[in-house]
Structure 1
Amino acid sequence: MPLEVFALIMMVIVFIVAIFLVPLLLQLRTTVQRIDDLVRDVQHDLVPMLKELREASEHVKRTTEAAEKGSELLSALGESAGAINQFSHFIKHDFGRLAGNLAGFWAGFRAAGKTLAKKADEQERR
């Protein structure tokens, strides 16, 4: 008889734990999927941004070398302006979009945390 009571208590405990874990795991899966999407977007956007940044750096390097030699000063200034313009475009558009994605992820993560806390509070009150 005590073994059956123990088994019944264990089944009830397992059932209660399952009731709490299933919604938590579902929410966690959604959060992990969003994180995966964010990482994929960041990787997709970061590689071209770094390539543009390297190109801009090379332009600046070449124009600096040309300016040091004293040849084609106006052309070097034009290339520098183009590199600065390219970098400015990167900051305005690509970096802003990346920051927006990160802000959206943070807001979603906070909302998920609040939702989980609210569900946990509701479960405790029952």
Structure 2
Amino acid sequence: MPLEVFTLVMMILVLIVVIFLIPLLLQLRGTVQRIDDLVRDVQHDLVPMIKELREASEHVKRTTQAAEKGSELLAALGEAGGAVNQFSHYLKHDVGRMAGNLAGFWAGFRAAGKTLARYAENKERS
């Protein structure tokens, strides 16, 4: 009799486990099916997205390279502008100063020449 009771208790326990296990397995099957659908959708959407990301990355790379070349050109233009500015400064200040000095020297030279000419003229008269 104790063996029959034990068998009966074991059968009831197995029945209870099966009763709870079947809905759990059905729910697990549905969850696995949804996960499989999600993975399929992600793969379907991810491949074009990765392709677009690669294209965008390549575009950014080309744009960056063009900007670097442009910045090099701007730097060269800046240096040329600096040289033009220095030359302009030289023309405004240094050449003007030299022209003023030359004009002063010329005026002094003429005045000295006139003075010497008058002195020579006065010496001839005397």
Deviation, 1:67, is 2.1
Q: Match of 1:53?
A: 53
Q: Which 5+ residue runs of structure 2 have no aligned equivalent?
A: 72-126
Q: What is the identity, as a one-letter code, of the residue corresponding to 1:63?
A: T
Q: Relative contact order: is structure 1 or structure 2 higher (C-alpha 8 Å, sep ≥ 6)?
A: 1
Distance in 2 of aligned mates of 1:64 and 1:8: 79
Deviation digits for residues 72-105 of structure 1 (CA, Å, limit 9, x no counterpart) = xxxxxxxxxxxxxxxxxxxxxxxxxxxxxxxxxx
Distance in 1 of aligned mates of 2:3 and 2:52: 70
Distance in 1 of aligned mates of 2:59 and 2:40: 29
Q: Match of 2:76?
A: none
SS at match of 1:70: helix
Distance in 1 of aligned mates of 2:46 and 2:12: 50
SS at match of 1:56: helix
Distance in 2 of aligned mates of 1:70 and 1:17: 74
Q: What is the identity, as a one-letter code, of the residue corresponding to 1:37?
A: D
Larger Rg: 2
Aligned residues: 71
Distance in 2 of aligned mates of 1:69 and 1:12: 82
Deviation, 1:51, is 1.1
Q: Match of 2:26?
A: 26
Distance in 1 of aligned mates of 2:60 and 2:14: 65
Deviation, 1:70, is 2.2
1:65-80 matched pairs, under 5 angstroms: 65-70=65-70
The list of structure 1 runs, each at least 4 consecutive aligned residues, that deviate by more than 2 angstroms after superposition, is none
TM-score, normalised to structure 1's length?
A: 0.53
1:91-102 matched pairs, under 5 angstroms: none
Distance in 2 of aligned mates of 1:12 and 1:67: 78
Deviation, 1:18, is 0.5
Distance in 2 of aligned mates of 1:23 and 1:70: 68
TM-score, normalised to structure 2's length?
A: 0.53
Q: Which 5+ residue runs of structure 1 have no aligned equivalent?
A: 72-126
